[in-house]
Structure 1
Amino acid sequence: MYRPLLSGLALLAIASLPLQAQSPPPPAVVSVASAELRAVAPLLWTPASAVSRQDARIAAEASGRLVSLAEIGDAVEAGAVLARVDDTALKLAVAEAVAARDRLVARLEYVRSQRERLSQLAAQGTVSRAQAEEQAAEQHMLEREREGAEVAVRQARHRLSLATVRAPFAGTVVERLAAEGEFLSPGLPLLRLVDTAGVELQARAPVSLSALLGQGDAVDVRQGETRLRGTVRAVVPVGDAASRQFELRVALDGPAPLIGSAMEVGLPRAAASDQLAVPQDAVVLRPGERYVVRVSAENTAERVPVELGATVDQWVSVSGELKAGDRLVVRGAERVRPGQALQIQNEAALAGLGGDGAVGGSR
């Protein structure tokens, strides 16, 4: 009968005990760098597509029944066999041309020996010189015919080689346009071969930007949340009269994306101006947010949301509640909590991290 009363007193006693304050987390060991004013060009983000520099529809050059064809997904080296056409008739044509040439060679050997014999007899006066000259003329004619027969053999062998379709470059078979058993005619497409290693971006930009772009310029590239760097490989110096745009090709720095991927290229749309920039390593990217961790005067962490601009040479322009000279965490920002004390490793080296530079690919 006393057990409920005792339990209640015990609970009251526990509730009356002072709460122990939670201990603060230990200082986070980080590296920092300073925000700087840098020359930045405002960007125009234009759509781009990942394309291959070599994308070909391989066609047949010989007529005949298709007996083999590479499968979709096959990765082949340059010179590898992609398809074969029934070459029975072509082999017979080669044999016929070789036989015709051999007959001429045999005839030529006989005429040459006859000419030598008649030349000796003419010198002795046994036969007339006209007979020896006639034999020499026949030998000359047969020599020319033999040359023609050699050409015919080479032509027959060339036609035979066309029955085997080989890859003009290394790539991957991505589409079959014919099937085994079909009768082919010269020029009929067989398959599509794509070089999946030589990938670049194809983009179009307003002609008004042409003066700000040149071959070898660095540009920003993005695909969703992923930021990349690229280099202008080629600028096509011809604009479209209807769209007032010109084409450019951008080579990517890093792994090649899937061909056909939709991306964007950031192109300078005006001359560069001074803007606030931070090291790329200072920016923390998470779904729905982008921020940097600023070091306060008390060496504690402050999370500052930012919007990103152009990127170059490991620096990115930003807009937000920052100013030049602010110390930002560049190593360990992902694990730092707001208000947490910071232990800075490279305080003495901060002076060597800055420098002049241009951001945004301006020329």
Structure 2
Amino acid sequence: MNNLMLTNVVPPKMALSINKSSTVNLYSSALITFTFISVIGLLNFCQKANAAETPEKPAHLVSVESVKKEQVKPSIWLPANVISRKNAPISAEQTGQLLWIEDVGSQVKKGQLLAQIDDRHLKLQLAGQRAEVKQHQADVDYLTGQKARFLKLREKNNSALSEFERVNKDLTIAINEVAALNISVEQTLLSLEKTTIRAPFTGNISQRFAHVGELISVGRSLVQLIDTKNLDIKIAAPISIAPFLQRGSKVMVKWNKTLLELPVRTWSQAGDQASRTFDVRLAADGIAMLAGTAVTVSLPKQAPIEAILVPRDALMLRENETYVLTIDADQQAQKVAVLVGQGVKNWVSVTGALSVNDSVVVRGGERLQSGEKVRFMNDQKEEVIAKVNL
């Protein structure tokens, strides 16, 4: 038993070593815990400081209008193309070598030179014809004098009637030959004029079909001339909407994220049996469009009905959607997708989740996102809140 008790007794040096190790471990654990708590506290303090330093995002300044309901004509949106009323290939009317031609993209005025064909052979031809005219004119002058002399002799009965008649016949033939030669001269002058090809109307050179040095034949197309000012928008419209069209009435055109209001200029009085469509033309004079531009046009398709109207400035046109921004009771903007219909002056009929008297943003909404706070121009706040609470 004494031996057992002796084996369980720890030597003094070993006990002292164990106590020191435990103390160090406890101190290290306390230090780590204190450091961890300090770091967390510092992080919380930094977050609160940053939150205090970050100012609240200011509300967007906007102007609003109220949605209303009126009678409009239901419409259909159709694809269309911008075309030029004058678009013609300008051809050569004479044969010859091409000496000069206007470049592609050049803006030309009516009567301006487009191309020049070699005219030397025509000038030589003209010189020869004029020489022949002078020669035959000399015969006319001679025979005219002869006729006058024979008339004097005939008065005294000193010449035969047959001689007088022969001279008179030769004179008539000579006069007719001079007249025919003068016509040939005029034709050659016209041919010379046609060697300079001039613009029949003001426009732009869109294509060039020949090059300097080529031998040009009659009827060969040289350039394509397009009138860039007098434009039409051409729509292939269903025949069923023909009764609802009115000449001069304005319709909506969507182009380049913009809504335009253009008048109906004219339309075809006959349709295509295969497609059951007919051509409708809108006047697009003075609009900065290129011929060939694709647009979308709203044309009336039914008798007038009541529809929701919003100001045209309220529409946000994007590549994949069209929407308006309404204001809720918390003075926040909310995006509402809409389909655009017929235009009525500065208003446009729309289909979407809108009600009469809803407030829609008409100014300041270009960078406004759904859910952002707004403030109002011209003390409109009370008016908007009153409408929302109705």
Common topology (TM > 0.5): yes
Q: Which residue of 2 aligns with 1:85?
A: 117
Task: Tell me by how many angstroms 1:83 deviates.
Answer: 1.9
Task: Tell me by how many angstroms 1:29 deviates.
Answer: 6.0
Task: Tell me by how many angstroms 1:245 deviates.
Answer: 1.4
- d(CA) in 1 for partners of 2:107 and 2:256? 29
Q: Which residue of 2 aligns with 1:357?
A: none
What root-mean-square deviation, in Å, do the aligned CA atoms of Structure 1 and Structure 2 show?
3.5
- d(CA) in 1 for partners of 2:377 and 2:179? 86
Whether the aligned pair in 1 keeps the contact of 2:299 and 2:342 (CA below 8 Å) is no
- What does 1:167-182 align with in structure 2 at a 5 Å threshold? 167-182=199-214
Whether the aligned pair in 1 keeps the contact of 2:73 and 2:342 (CA below 8 Å) is no
Which letter does structure 1 place at the counterpart of 2:225? L
Show structure 2 runs of 5+ residues with no match.
1-33, 384-390
Residues 117-159 of structure 1 show CA distances to partners (whole Å, capped at 9, x for unaligned) of 3333433x27326244543443333222222221111011112
Q: Which residue of 2 aligns with 1:235?
A: 267
Residues 81-128 of structure 1 show CA distances to partners (whole Å, capped at 9, x for unaligned) of 2222222221111111111111122222222233333333433x2732
Whether the aligned pair in 2 keeps the contact of 1:229 and 1:252 (CA below 8 Å) is no
Q: Aligned match of 1:303 in 331, 334, 349?
A: 334
Structure 1 or 2: larger helix share? 2
Larger Cα-atom Rg: 2
- What does 1:207-286 align with in structure 2 at a 5 Å threshold? 207-223=239-255, 225-252=257-284, 255-285=287-317
Residues 232-272 of structure 1 show CA distances to partners (whole Å, capped at 9, x for unaligned) of 22211111111111112222265232222222222222222
- d(CA) in 2 for partners of 1:323 and 1:56? 51
Are residues 16 and 132 of structure 1, via their aligned partners in 2, closer, same or farther at CA, if it must alter by over 3 Å? closer
Q: Which residue of 2 aligns with 1:345?
A: 378
Q: Which residue of 2 aligns with 1:360?
A: none
Whether the aligned pair in 2 keeps the contact of 1:306 and 1:318 (CA below 8 Å) is no
Q: Which residue of 1 aligns with 2:101?
A: 69
- Of structures 1 and 2, the one scoring higher in RCO (CA 8 A, sep 6+) is 1
Show structure 1 runs of 5+ residues with no match.
351-363
Q: Which residue of 2 aligns with 1:361?
A: none
Task: Tell me by how many angstroms 1:195 deviates.
Answer: 1.8
* Percent identity between the two aligned chains: 33
How many residue pairs align between the two structures? Answer: 344
Task: Tell me by how many angstroms 1:276 deviates.
Answer: 0.6
Whether the aligned pair in 1 keeps the contact of 2:230 and 2:285 (CA below 8 Å) is no
- d(CA) in 2 for partners of 1:155 and 1:16? 96
- What does 1:147-186 align with in structure 2 at a 5 Å threshold? 147-186=179-218
Whether the aligned pair in 2 keeps the contact of 1:31 and 1:346 (CA below 8 Å) is no
Whether the aligned pair in 1 keeps the contact of 2:298 and 2:342 (CA below 8 Å) is no
Task: Tell me by how many angstroms 1:315 deviates.
Answer: 0.8
Structure 1 or 2: larger strand share? 1
Instruction: Give the TM-score of the pair, scaled to structure 1.
Output: 0.80
Whether the aligned pair in 1 keeps the contact of 2:236 and 2:278 (CA below 8 Å) is yes
3-state DSSP of counterpart to 2:267: strand
Which letter does structure 1 place at the counterpart of 2:196? T
Are residues 293 and 301 of structure 1, via their aligned partners in 2, closer, same or farther at CA, if it must alter by over 3 Å? farther
3-state DSSP of counterpart to 1:237: coil
Whether the aligned pair in 2 keeps the contact of 1:301 and 1:342 (CA below 8 Å) is no
Are residues 314 and 170 of structure 1, via their aligned partners in 2, closer, same or farther at CA, if it must alter by over 3 Å? same
